[in-house]
Structure 1
Amino acid sequence: MTSLAAIAPQARALFFLVALFLSGGATQAAECSSYIPPPVSELKTVSFYGDARSSIVSKARMSQYSSDIARLNDFSFHVSKSANDFMEGDECAGLNALALLREWSKSNALNKLDGFQANVAAMFMGIPAVVAYAKVSTLCHESDCVVIQQWLLRLARRSSIYFSSPNRPRNNLYYWSSTFSILAGKYAHDPRLFEYGKDGVIRGFSSLGRSGFSLENERGQRAQTYNRFAFTALSWGAAAVSKEFMVDLYRQNPEVKAFLDGHRSQSEISIDVLHPSKSRQVEASSTWRLPWDILLLSEQSCATMSSKERYRILGLDTPKLLTVLWELEPCT
């Protein structure tokens, strides 16, 4: 099997000045340097589970998987952190995020994926990439926006096709691909992709029963974890559609309220797909609760939005993502 390190041109970071496409001019560009992991063109890797039910993590497989996707982790972390720092007032950080997105999009990164787990890894890199773009897109020039948008749309369309194929179960990965489609359709301007993802979210919530999601309940000792993982995908997909859409889901589907009430105070495994070895036991995560909590409050609660929850798939900082999705006033 070819590792990611062998696929990329050289296993070293590139430092270069953010220029040409910066709105602030050459002087500002010279002051804003960016760390750019070399883009990955091809990816082949393994599942980190060692059993047929995908419920038991194999240490050897997990080590291989983590090694294979190391550069994707690197890209996702830096593009997310830079975009979040921009939202806190650091314009250079926003330009750095655009530099990362532009370099990987120009190289058509991840244009060849080999196998199931490669498609999973690519999707979980693509989602934080489009989240970062949503946060910093006001800074980019039109030509650069087009290049980045086209790349994000290619990634999202491929995920939607792969995870909705007839031979694939409509489980949490289908829900995540639907959320990816909504985000890419919304911020890279593809209404058809947006509606496709919205339909996937509607289908997902319609499959939620009193005991959770039937396909996730087949995951053995990780059934509870993957029920929440599926609900996280659908919740943020719904949030990306609109607040009004979430209100309708809540009113029309009593199982949503039942799920929220039933998981309010339980502990769970916090899944870190990009770093499986760092998954940990925590109190019920605000990751999937946050949009519902804000939705059901009579007014925005900055106490709730001050959550320090960090979730890599959604760009590290979920309160900042919700601020962008719903155009909320930033909490000070």
Structure 2
Amino acid sequence: MDWLFRFPQLDPDLLLAVKRFIDGSLRTFTRAYGAAIESSFYPLQRILIFFENVATGAPWPIVIIVLASIAWLCARSRSVVLSVIGVLIAIGLLGLWQDAMRTISLVFTATIFAIAIGIPLGIILNRFRRVGGVMQTILDIMQTMPPFVYLIPVVMLLGIGRVPGFIAVVIYAIPPIIRLTDLGIRLVDKEVLEAADAYGCSRQQKLFKVQLPLALPTIMAGINQTIMMALGMVVIASMIGVQGLGLNVLQAIANQYFTQGIFNGFAIVGIAIIFDRISQAYGQRLQKHRGSAHE
């Protein structure tokens, strides 16, 4: 009766041989092509360094004015602008300005790349059913897989540093923008599409002049979630050399520095509030504009 309480297993020797074969193949591939792969990402490294230098090298009043101006243009709300200014001043007073700018530059760059990759993939997901089914499965796996798992293949291929962390952040944060781009296109009213067909719009014109503009509020919700997931991944990515507030949190955990962890956690939450308020307010403005257009 022991077989009822012990689940049958594969032959341990066979399982060990399979694991060794897979791990050995990956190591061989990394040794043979790792340098070439790493050199191919050099332009990306220069882009990341550029944005980081701009964020950390700019005078702090200019940074506050620029971010407050962006908040006003997107939200047209005094409360949002004041909250952005207040959070940035609080971060500076805590002595976390430089680290916060590194984190903001990383999240900003990762969001741009996620948008540039995610929106086209969302369109493909919406247009091609067979490819979309495969993509849905991949997205389900990506969103249920523990974040730490993303670090393993990236580190094996590219080692430790700024670029591997950035790639891990983009991969982890990209599913929402893909899904909500697809959802936004599917939610466009059929009557509007029928009117576009009646006016003789081609499939491409209907996509870029009708569906995507009307789907923008939903896409903005996807961008908002992408930003939040990128910020959540920043702390984990610090394990492979990404500098900024996440690295400070990791050091606080390792050395049991309670106040350092709390202050840096506050700064990360503050940055999340800034991005969340700006993106949500802009999405609401688009929603109101869409509603007035329908009327």
Higher helix share: 2
User: Rg bigger for which structure?
Assistant: 2
Per the normalisation by structure 1, the TM-score is: 0.26
Per the normalisation by structure 2, the TM-score is: 0.29
